[in-house]
Structure 1
Amino acid sequence: MTTSSSAFSPASGAPAASALPAPHPRRWLILVLAWAAFTMTSLDRSVWGPAAPSVGQALGVALASLGVFATCYYIGYVVSNFLGGLASDWVGPRVVLTASMVLAGAGMVFFGSVESFALGLVAQALVGFFAGADYSAGAKSISSWFTGRERTFAVGLFTTATSLGTVVANLVVPTMIAEHGWRLSYHLFGAISIVLGLVIAVLHRSRPPQAEGAELATPTAPRTPHLGRVLRSRDLIVLGIAGFFSLWGTYGFITWSNTLMIEGKGIDPVHAGGIVALFAITAVVMKPVIGLVAGRVPFHRKYLAAGILVLFALMLLAFGALGSLPAFYIAAPVLGFAAYCYSPIQNALILDYAGAGDSGSAAGTLNAVWQLGSVVVPTVVGAVFASTGSVYSAFVTLAIGPLLAALLMLPLSGRFRSAAPEDEATATAPAAGPAAG
């Protein structure tokens, strides 16, 4: 991995301010559009939780079989994370974001109209396949429009989308289903996704102007994605494994927390939902804050992420040992902070290690690997809980993930790529001073 001497700050593990181009004011509109798309697909995904029982009744699907819908969604989601990253580097994020929103929205509307189990599975797979592309396209947009400390802050804002989608879905969808049925929620959010996709097509630009007064434009010719450089990067490989174990804890908790509290601790379902909502709301508030802080720490950001992950593991162990309702409400915001706030740092490090030219491929590939953690952990935790009958054993299983992730963050180096792919042949000088690894 190479970098120019002016592009790296050994103290903080961030690009040096002196090497950064002047920011363009349109960057905040680009961030809002990317964030809105990511929020919308996160909301579309989160509708399933409160809607699942009603869907099962309408389509004649047994409760034990409803998980197949989620499996189909995540298979499509993982695949499109990878392909969407390559497409973002090839044709630009505006095209990918537009297609992701319009086609995922159409899939939502389709699912809201199905009358059979088989068509429902197809519709969920289609929604997941198209929805998964927007993360890498948003990351590519941020990499192209933001630099330095601002980039970490922008990533923090961008990643609030996953938490916000969970909060909105759990606050709005149950009432909507009670009053109008589950199909309306899919039709409504699908239609909003399509409209947002059309707005993105008009307002988004894949890159800032190249010179003062130049017209904003997307890349004029396709460029071949450089996946080989991503796969040859030791730092990106290690970060991919660390993210897998990070999401092991986060999505394992989201999947099992309600059940473990209700069945294992005797918590009322309404209170269990309130605890999880408080858990997610904390993340919405704190992700931008941690992004702002991470861009200003006088040491490599990997240490900050590792510390948050250790806190996450400890809080999972503590949460599993709690026994009173007030204690769960007190612990929920601390756990929410730890369960989500490593994410802006890890996502920003992807962009730094990949460089602007390969940021879409790197983001899509690594997020596909990360999401495998969310696919595997529900089954593992369920097996542990079923075999032991112990809530605490389930939380110990969850805590193993972030603890391993924290250890994996430590060997990351401080060498970042900042040159565009076509310029990297000349960017071979080592970083000034010792790497912050």
Structure 2
Amino acid sequence: MSAKPTPYRWVVLLLCWAAFTMTSVDRSTWGPAAAAVSDSWHVPLAALGIFATCYYIGYVLSNAAGGFLTDWVGSRLVLGLSLLVAGSLMIVFGSTTSIPVGITVQGLVGLFAGVEFSAGMKLITTWLPEREIGLASGIFMTATSLGTVIANAVVPTLIKHGNWGASYHLFGGVTVVLAVLCTVFLRNGTAVRGDARRALPDLRPLLRNRDLLLLGLAGFGGLWGTYGFVTWSNTLMMKGSHLSGVDAGLVVVIFSGVAVAVKPLVGWVTDRLGLGMRLPIMAILLLFTASLLVFGAMRSYGAFLAVAPVLGIAAYAYSPLTAAMIPKLAGGRLAGSAAGAVNAVWQLGSVLVPAAVGPVFRATGSFYAAFALLAAGPLLGAAAVLGIRDDRPQRTPGTSAAAVGQAG
């Protein structure tokens, strides 16, 4: 079988990126819509967190299970069906007036939206040669940042000129259309034919893969810092340094905005240098640790603005590299299962950190103590990466990523 790359790989990357972006938009819609939902349903703002919690419970569960399904039945079916159901549920949520139904639907949206990462990484690993995986992962991972930008740019306008439900109807409809496009144009491209394609994957090699466990811990620590900052930075700057809401928001916009450029760039540079991914990930996580500590020591608006771009680069640059390392450590056959399981561990960092930072800040009243707690995450991640050996031979059965690009 020829390993020569096919131009179709860019169609695969585009659709995988679009699917991941759209589910990221769906996930991010709740933030700017929550206050309007509170007014519409007469729910106290403090009680709105249960909607996000239910979403992320479903999201973490589907990450773990979705990767297994991707390896079993194929990415095309998993992507198409999950987008169709998630988009339809978004439309339902935008039309409901029942709080119990709304909470349930949010959990179900998360349950179907959490498979895009593993399914997308499986396809990217299959169709792109190894020398392009870093760049492709960087482009793919811009989805999470763009989702936040798009939701925050569109939802407030729709609420101003209509109602909060319109945003869920719009994004849900686009998600359904994208489900059709993925079903029509994507091909699994697997080298495994016939009945073997549908065989249940043997996950035992993943459970024995020490490197994947360490990568899961590294990503957990990274997301602890990244989403801890996203969740708490506005409040901490306003309460700890008495910034206005507008000024604090601008700092976070700068922090997040650099991610769109830095993710593909760091992937491309890593591909070109050919030094592997372990050392760059470790260096970025250590920079992230130092940047959080420096940011926590700042007190003026100008100082926050100066540190925000560096902090944003460090907070996002590791993610395309950790994503690209998954198939390298797991092998092509179990790339989907590995991506889903590892991402589920990563996402626990974003789920747990909001609950950890609040009590620390309330108990100490210290802006710096809160950021020191955030910095502990990437420091732990860097220590975990130190134990990874990305030059070890792949220990799972199957064909390498670079060798299956022409199949299907």
Category of TM-score, reference length = shorter chain: over 0.9
TM-score (norm. length: structure 1)? 0.88
| CA deviation vs aligned residue, 1:148-167 (integer Å, no higher than 9, x gap) | 22011111110010011111
Q: 1:344 to 1:20 in 2, by over 3 A?
A: farther
| CA deviation vs aligned residue, 1:342-364 (integer Å, no higher than 9, x gap) | 01111111110111110000000
Question: 1:251-290 to 2 correspondence within 5 Å?
Answer: 251-290=227-266
Structure 1 CA distance, aligned partners of 2:154 and 2:247?
17
| Other-structure match for 2:349 | 373
**What code does the residue aligned with 2:133 have?**
R
Structure 1 CA distance, aligned partners of 2:229 and 2:2?
39
Q: 1:400 to 1:20 in 2, by over 3 A?
A: farther
Does structure 2 retain, via aligned residues, the 8 Å contact 1:207–1:218? Answer: no
Aligned-pair distance for 1:411?
1.2
Kindly indicate whether residue 164 of structure 2 is the aligned counterpart of residue 164 of structure 1: no
Q: 1:206 to 1:46 in 2, by over 3 A?
A: same
Question: Alignment partner for residue 188 of structure 1, among 160, 167, 170?
Answer: 170
Question: 1:11-22 to 2 correspondence within 5 Å?
Answer: 21-22=3-4
Once the two structures are overlaid, the 10-residue window that deviates more, 164-173 or 283-292, is 164-173
Question: Alignment partner for residue 126 of structure 2, among 121, 135, 144?
Answer: 144
| Other-structure match for 1:201 | 183
**What code does the residue aligned with 2:267 have?**
G
| CA deviation vs aligned residue, 1:158-202 (integer Å, no higher than 9, x gap) | 001001111111222122212212110111101100111111111
Question: Alignment partner for residue 316 of structure 1, among 292, 306, 314?
Answer: 292
Structure 2 CA distance, aligned partners of 1:183 and 1:96?
27
Structure 1 CA distance, aligned partners of 2:148 and 2:176?
20
Structure 1 CA distance, aligned partners of 2:302 and 2:218?
33
SS of 1:236's equivalent?
helix
| CA deviation vs aligned residue, 1:40-79 (integer Å, no higher than 9, x gap) | 0111111111111111121221111111111000000000
Does structure 1 retain, via aligned residues, the 8 Å contact 2:292–2:371? Answer: yes
Does structure 1 retain, via aligned residues, the 8 Å contact 2:330–2:396? Answer: no
| Other-structure match for 1:108 | 90
| CA deviation vs aligned residue, 1:218-262 (integer Å, no higher than 9, x gap) | 998413122211111010011111111111101111111111122
CA RMSD of aligned residues (A): 2.0
| Other-structure match for 1:48 | 30
Does structure 2 retain, via aligned residues, the 8 Å contact 1:279–1:336? Answer: yes
Structure 1 CA distance, aligned partners of 2:203 and 2:241?
47
How many pairs does the alignment contain? 400
| CA deviation vs aligned residue, 1:304-359 (integer Å, no higher than 9, x gap) | 11110011111111111222222222221111110011011111111101111100
Q: Which has the higher helix share?
A: 2
Aligned-pair distance for 1:147?
2.1
Give aligned-pair identity as a percent: 51
Unaligned runs of 5+ in 2: 401-408
| Other-structure match for 1:431 | none
Kindly indicate whether residue 156 of structure 2 is the aligned counterpart of residue 174 of structure 1: yes
Structure 2 CA distance, aligned partners of 1:268 and 1:179?
26
Kindly indicate whether residue 33 of structure 2 is the aligned counterpart of residue 57 of structure 1: no
Does structure 2 retain, via aligned residues, the 8 Å contact 1:91–1:219? Answer: no
Unaligned runs of 5+ in 1: 1-18, 211-216, 425-437
**What code does the residue aligned with 1:79 have?**
L
Structure 2 CA distance, aligned partners of 1:24 and 1:225?
27
Aligned-pair distance for 1:418?
5.7
Kindly indicate whether residue 340 of structure 2 is the aligned counterpart of residue 364 of structure 1: yes
Structure 2 CA distance, aligned partners of 1:352 and 1:219?
26
